[in-house]
Amino acid sequence: MRNQEKGTLVWQTRLPADFSGIRLGRQSLDRVLRCQGWGERQISHWRRLLTELASRCVHHAHPSELLLRLYQHQQSWRLEVEDDGEPFDPCQPQPIDLSLDEETLLAEPGWELPDPLLAEVAYRRLPSANLCTLELRQSDLHGRIFLIHHQLLMRTLLADYLSERFTVSSFASPREALPVLARQGADLVISDVGQAPFDGLALRFALAERQRQDVPPFLFLTGSQDPETRLLAAGLGAEDYLLTPVCKAELLAVVNRVLFRHQNRKERCDDHLDPLVTASLRPHLPASIAPFGLSMGIRGATLGGSDFIIQQGRRLILGDVMGRAEQARSFAHAYAGYLRGLLCALPQGLGPAEVLHRLAQIMLDDPLLSQTQVHVLALTLEEGGEVRLASAGFPMPWLIRGQAIAPLPSRGQMTGLGGDFHAQEQTVALRRGERLLIHSDGLRCQSQETLPSRWQQELLAELRACAAVPLDKTQESILQLFDTHHADLIQDDLTLVLLERLC
């Protein structure tokens, strides 16, 4: 079906206005976009935006259903989200009731600032519905390029060459481009070498120095054939080097080759590295360490994620390396391996608090590790049914005694492992059938709702309902509930370990 203004209707679906409906809509949109040949980055972007948008509409407008439509029109795509709820613009922050006290204010879920992604959404009120639209030019599907050249004529000409296939942002100097590039990111940077002190080479070096900045591939342009400049560019990791003037066909051929090579290399690396990293950081725990039963579940963040778990006999170490970018995952991998080596060297008889103190002292004496922050929980599972534990900023486990569920009280400083650190050890004696839910920050930090929230209320209800259900089934129920609520808004890894006294 074709609409003259909107284009060809590619897909539409009606969904219930709840979290399960949002999840179904996201999955359906994913399949449709893949069939249309979209790239992973753009699919992920629209999945997340749909989830943000629909979640806010459900929470604030209280509709009975959602109607999703996807149109293709010449060189653009258009996604529409229509709901039959109350008037509500998801792009605007909600008014704050100044009569409420600060504690109530901070606990209210609806007053956060809008997600930056929602700035791309247009909102208008129909006679009986809200309509939100997102449009994307065809060229956006092929990558975002930052073009930097000090000459206006050359910059305009190159941008004209590239804009037929790519989204191009043009800048007169590297210094002008740096803050925008650091904030938005790009698939490729094309820059002239420019003039010192802050030239194109300096820009490449500055981005590489930012620990949390993913450095895009670089393509340098210059009118000079100076071999020293070429060597400097190669030494900084430039993908290619073009002499100007350059013709359109040559420029597009090189750009396509660089982008294809970079994406292909990244996908091959991700396909092989991610499973290895995940398996290394969160290995399978044994089903039991007498007299306890164990079950572990994980959910990985879309980007980054930094949880790890180490089991050594009756000792468990759970950790969370602070950070949200992909580098956090790589650092966690290295850090977990480092901790394994340290733990093997520590005496087996050390209690949890003493283990954390030894590790903290080693960190404090190390120039690199002293600059990092890691949250750690150390546990020892005793043969008599007691669990000894100490925390360094890690969330305290929840004690589940039938229908009574509550987090264990924290003791000592709840700072990360490192610096001026002191932990106090506590012992929990479990009776037969009693459980501990051990979890990382991911269980509570995915939503902007502050506890007590709908998510926590349903989680507590699920835990009570599963009090007599086997551990592995309980763990699956928790993760299913987590998926329903949080969809693909996973901002931090979730690691949970259920522990039950069996006899």
Q: What is the pLDDT of residue 501?
A: 96
Amino acid 368: pLDDT: 61
First-to-last alpha carbon distance for the chain, in angstroms, is 65
CB 483 within 8 A of CB 21: no
Domain boundary among 139, 172, 194: 139
DSSP letters, 377-443, are: EEEEE-TTSEEEEEEEBPPPPEEEETTEEEEPPP-B----BSSS--B--EEEEPPTT-EEEEE-GGG
Contact of 193 with 201, CB cutoff 8 Å: yes
Q: If you search the block for the tokens 């040559």, which residue do you land on?
A: 250
- On whether both 203 and 255 belong to a single domain, the answer is yes
Residues 6+ apart with CB under 8 A from 76: 7, 135, 136, 137, 138
Q: What is the pLDDT of residue 112?
A: 44
pLDDT for residue 486:
62
Query: Are 253 and 211 within one domain?
Result: yes
CA distance 56 to 94: 11
Residues 167 and 238 in one domain: yes
164 and 299 co-located in one domain = no
Boundary of a domain, candidates 139, 157, 174:
139
CATH number at residue 8: 3.30.565.10
Q: Residue 68 sits in which domain range?
A: 2-139
Distance CA 14, CA 69 (A): 9
- Secondary structure letter of residue 78 according to DSSP: E
Q: Rounded to the nearest 5°, which phi and psi values hold at 262?
A: -65, -45
Is the same domain home to 337 and 458? yes
User: Does residue 111 share a domain with residue 22?
Assistant: yes
pLDDT for res 96:
43
Pair 122, 167 in one domain: no
Q: Are residues 352 and 269 in the same domain?
A: no
pLDDT value of residue 344: 73
The total number of structural domains that make up the chain:
3
The residue among 109, 139, 169 that closes a domain is: 139
Cβ atoms of 12 and 70 within 8 Å: the answer is yes
Using a cut of 0.75, tell me whether the model's pTM lies above it: no
- The β-bridge relationship of strands 404-407 and 398-401 is antiparallel
Q: Which of 300, 302, 337 is nearest to 317 (CA)?
A: 337
Shared domain for 331 and 417, answered yes or no, is yes
Helix (H) or strand (E) holding 463: helix 454-465
Is there a single domain that holds both residue 169 and residue 197? yes
Domain check: are 68 and 160 in the same one? no
**Mean pLDDT, the chain cut into blocks of 10 residues (503 residues total):** 69 90 88 73 80 85 93 81 91 54 39 58 90 74 81 89 82 84 80 69 70 68 65 54 80 80 59 54 81 88 64 89 56 66 79 88 71 83 95 91 89 60 87 94 53 72 91 89 64 84 93
3-state secondary structure of 248: helix
What's the CATH code of the domain at 429?
3.60.40.10
Residue 54 sits in the same domain as residue 192: no
